[in-house]
Amino acid sequence: MRRTDTTTGLTETAPAAPPAAAPSARAGRARALTAAGGVLTAASAFVAWTWTREFPGDLTVNGWPGGPQVLTLVSGLLTVLGSLGGYGVRGFRWAAPAGATAALRWYALGALAVTWFAVASIAWTLGGAVNVVGGGWFAAAASAVPVAGAFLLPPDAREPARARRLPAWAEVSLISAAAGAGLLVFTYGIGTEGALFAGFLVTAGFAAAGLARAGLLARLTGLTARHRTTAAAAAFVAAVAFPFTGSDETYMSVGVNILIFATVALGLNVVVGLAGLLDLGYVAFLGVGAYTAALVSGASASALGLRLPFWAAVLAGGLVSMLFGLLIGAPTLRVRGDYLAIVTLGFGEIFRIAVNNLDGVSGPNITGGPGGIPNIPDLSLLGFDFGATHVVAGVELGRFANYFLLMLLVTAVVVVVFQRVGESRTGRAWVAIREDETAATAMGVNSFRLKLTAFALGAALAGVAGTVQAHVSYAVVPDPYQFAGAVPPNSAFLLAAVVLGGTGTVAGPLIGAALLYLIPMKLQFLQDYQLMAFGIALILLMRFRPDGLVADRRGRVDHDAAGATA
* Per-residue confidence (pLDDT) for residue 157, from 0 to 100: 60
* Per-residue confidence (pLDDT) for residue 565, from 0 to 100: 39
What secondary structure does DSSP assign to 347-411, as a single string? HHHHHHHHHHH-SSSSS-SSS-GGG-B--PPPPEETTEETTS-EEETTEEE-HHHHHHHHHHHHH
123-133 average pLDDT score: 87
Q: Which of 458, 482, 506 is the last residue of a domain?
A: 482
- What is the share, in percent, of the chain residues with pLDDT greater than 90? 14
Do both 290 and 187 map to the same domain? Answer: no
Alpha-carbon dihedral of residues 94, 98, 104, 110, nearest 10 degrees? -90
Query: Does residue 133 register a pLDDT over 60?
Result: yes
Do both 295 and 218 map to the same domain? Answer: no
Residue 540 in domain? no
Residue 195 in domain? yes
Do both 65 and 151 map to the same domain? Answer: yes
Do both 259 and 318 map to the same domain? Answer: yes
Query: Does residue 566 register a pLDDT over 50?
Result: no
* Per-residue confidence (pLDDT) for residue 557, from 0 to 100: 44
Do both 144 and 58 map to the same domain? Answer: yes
Q: Considering Cα of 166, then 172, then 177, then 178, what sign does the dihedral take?
A: positive
Residue 218 in domain? yes
Residue 125 in domain? yes
465-479 average pLDDT score: 86
Residue 123 in domain? yes
Residue 7 in domain? no
Do both 203 and 346 map to the same domain? Answer: no
* Per-residue confidence (pLDDT) for residue 107, from 0 to 100: 93
Do both 258 and 227 map to the same domain? Answer: no
Give the pLDDT band (50/70/90) at residue 29: confident
Do both 192 and 267 map to the same domain? Answer: no
* Per-residue confidence (pLDDT) for residue 215, from 0 to 100: 86
Q: For residue 296, give its domain range.
A: 248-482
Q: Which of 421, 455, 482 is the last residue of a domain?
A: 482
Residue 357 in domain? yes
Measured CA angle at 475 (ends 471, 480), to 5 deg? 105
Which tens digit of pLDDT belongs to each residue from 425-446? 888 888 888 888 888 888 888 8
* Per-residue confidence (pLDDT) for residue 336, from 0 to 100: 74
* Per-residue confidence (pLDDT) for residue 553, from 0 to 100: 63
Which of 296-300, 542-546, 558-562 is predicted least confidently? Answer: 558-562
Do both 201 and 307 map to the same domain? Answer: no
248-263 average pLDDT score: 86
- Give the residue, 18 or 50, on which the prediction is more confident: 50
Q: Which of 456, 482, 508 is the last residue of a domain?
A: 482
* Per-residue confidence (pLDDT) for residue 142, from 0 to 100: 93
* Per-residue confidence (pLDDT) for residue 528, from 0 to 100: 67
Give the pLDDT band (50/70/90) at residue 228: confident
- Give the residue, 566 or 296, on which the prediction is more confident: 296
Do both 421 and 285 map to the same domain? Answer: yes
Do both 143 and 192 map to the same domain? Answer: yes
- Give the residue, 422 or 21, on which the prediction is more confident: 422
What secondary structure does DSSP assign to 469-508, as a single string? HHHHHS-B-STTSSS--SSSSSHHHHHHHHHHH-TT-SHH
> Is 203 exposed, middle or buried (CB count within 10 Å of its CB: 0-12, 13-18, 19+)?
buried
Cα gap 169→171, rounded to integer Å: 6
Query: Does residue 176 register a pLDDT over 70?
Result: yes
Residue 148 in domain? yes
* Per-residue confidence (pLDDT) for residue 162, from 0 to 100: 64
Question: What's the structural domain count of the chain?
Answer: 2
**Is pTM beyond 0.85 here?**
no
Do both 192 and 293 map to the same domain? Answer: no
Instruction: Compute the mean pLDDT over every residue in the chain, rounded to the nearest whole number.
Output: 82
Query: Does residue 559 register a pLDDT over 60?
Result: no
